[in-house]
Amino acid sequence: MAVGLPVLLAISLVEAYFLQRTVFAEEAFRTVILGALGVNFVLKGIYSAIVWPLFMNPLRHLPTIPGYMNHAKIIFDSPRGRSPLHWMKTIPNDGLIHMRDMISQSYLIPTNHQALLDIMSTNTYDFEKPWHARNFLARILGFGLILSEGPAHKKQRKALTPAFNIKNIRAMYSLMWDKTNQLLVEMEKELKLNPMEGTNPDEGVGKLEMGVWGSRLTLDIIGPAAMGRDFRSLQNLDNRVAESFLNILEPTTEKMAFLAMNFTLPQWIAQRVPWRLNQVVANETGFLRDLCTDIVVEKRKFLADSKASAQDLEADILGTMMLGGDFSDTELVDQMLTFLAAGHETTASALTWACYLMTLHPECQERLRAEIRAKIPTAETQITYSDLESLPLLNGVCHEVLRLYPTVPATIRESVRDTTVAGKHVPKGTRLILCPYAINRCPLFWGDNGEEFLPERWIDTDKNGNLVPNKNGGASTNFAEITFLHGQRSCIGKDFARAELRCAVAGVVGRFALEMQDPKQEIHIAGAVTTKPVEGMRLRMRRVEGW
């Protein structure tokens, strides 16, 4: 009844005006109008803040987190996901934890297999990213596969899936390994330019910031793989493309506040706020969009001027999409923006955290180096996918890195219709927070040591006593690890990212011994969209001879 109150009041007041206009003076009429609106505003506020959440909301009986600022706490968590993990450990629940924001908007945090299954598989298209979040992220990613919803997403997913089948991914190992070798060469040059105190530059002992190099490596892989363009950012340290992503995604508190504003306000308001980051994002995303547009135009011209075969076109993802004919040039630009940003940032972040974990576990680092060198005689040796996918410790390390340090630690969805999650009715407009950081460490799935780095989780012993990789880490469900999500909205490039990470970790650990420049340095996890070390990843590296 309260929802219809504004209409009833308006009708009554209009009737009163025409029936009694000779009685009421104009000023008195305005007073009545304003008074009625004020009363209606108060009644609506009472309904929204008290009546609905406490007496009518079907979610009110779920375990509820005390307070009204918990959604903001998640945004500014360090690391993001720490609070949801704490709630999962301390609040008894049956798959859903409920919380409210300052205006009593309901949020749900899924915590068990059934809830995650319903959201990511059974009822996937009942949930979408909130429009404010999508509209902001589209400035960086474009309205490509990640941000499309409903029928548009189904169409794009179907058109893009052939480019990401496992056969095509495995064919890219040679490119990934070649770029990894280029990384090793360029890193050695920097180590000589930045030797550690008291060492000879020719000894190959120096210092560097790993995050920057990880980003350059993965950018030089995704460029040829996605769009047939080699950015050569490994050789060109002034590369504008690499700098653009660093400027947008560097982990600062200011960027987190900027993100929160853009997720809250409509873009037509947020972009007019006099904040320098608005200009930074506009400049960098404008450059990246122009770059992708130029690449699409060049590729289209190449198609028109040449007699390229289907096999030639399928050498990269852009050619495959053009061959399929499912996308306009504008849509192709959006997809290229998506692959450029998401396709390199995921693995760059993971490589950074892999190096960090190796410095914390030197014994594991030594065993991994021995495993790599036993299988691959030298870094220059040509490899196949089976060489790396068969290494149990390498795969265990990579899986643990992706589990403990998911690139996107938390993401949000909103129910676009009434639906069901874990047997509970979820009304339209309810927001859900999927938290890979918390789920990937949750004791329900991983036991009491879920926050520990244990590559052995991912290693089995076959009937002959040989160590072999497994794909579940000992967990009882695939939904115990949601770094790439699952179901129809899972990351289409997850196998590409895992292949990149295997190559990069094998190359870096195979060639160098890794330590922190400052062993006492405390690393903080943050990032506006993806997780990065706030302080950077400053390593002391030494070439280990013989490889």
Output the known binding site for heme. Answer: 491
Nearest to 79 by CA among 359, 350, 342, 410: 410
Strands 127-128 and 411-415: antiparallel
Q: Please give the structure tokens belonging to residue 496.
A: 């590409």
Task: Read off φ and ψ for residue 250, nearest 5 degrees.
Answer: -60, 140
Q: 235 CB contacts (<8 Å, ≥6 apart)?
A: 182, 186
Extract the runs of DSSP E, i.e. beta strands, from 418-458.
Answer: 419-421, 424-426, 431-434
Q: 318 CB contacts (<8 Å, ≥6 apart)?
A: 226, 227, 228, 295, 296, 299, 332, 336
Residue 322: DSSP 8-state = H
Q: Which residues are annotated as a binding site?
A: 491
3-8 LR contacts (CB < 8 Å, sep 24+): 3/47, 5/40, 5/43, 5/44, 6/40, 6/44
- Helix H or strand E segment including 209: strand 205-209
Concatenating the DSSP letter of every residue in 467-519 gives EEE-SSTT-SSGGG--TT--GGGS-TTHHHHHHHHHHHHHHHHHHEEEEESST
Nearest to 12 by CA among 37, 42, 45: 37
CA gap 420, 134 in Å, rounded: 24
Task: Considering only CA atoms, give the Rg of the chain.
Answer: 27
Residue ranges of alpha helices (H) inside 97-172 are 113-117, 131-141, 150-160, 166-171
Q: Please give the structure tokens belonging to residue 498.
A: 């895992």
Nearest to 91 by CA among 113, 68, 112: 112
Give the dihedral sign, CA 344/350/356/358: negative
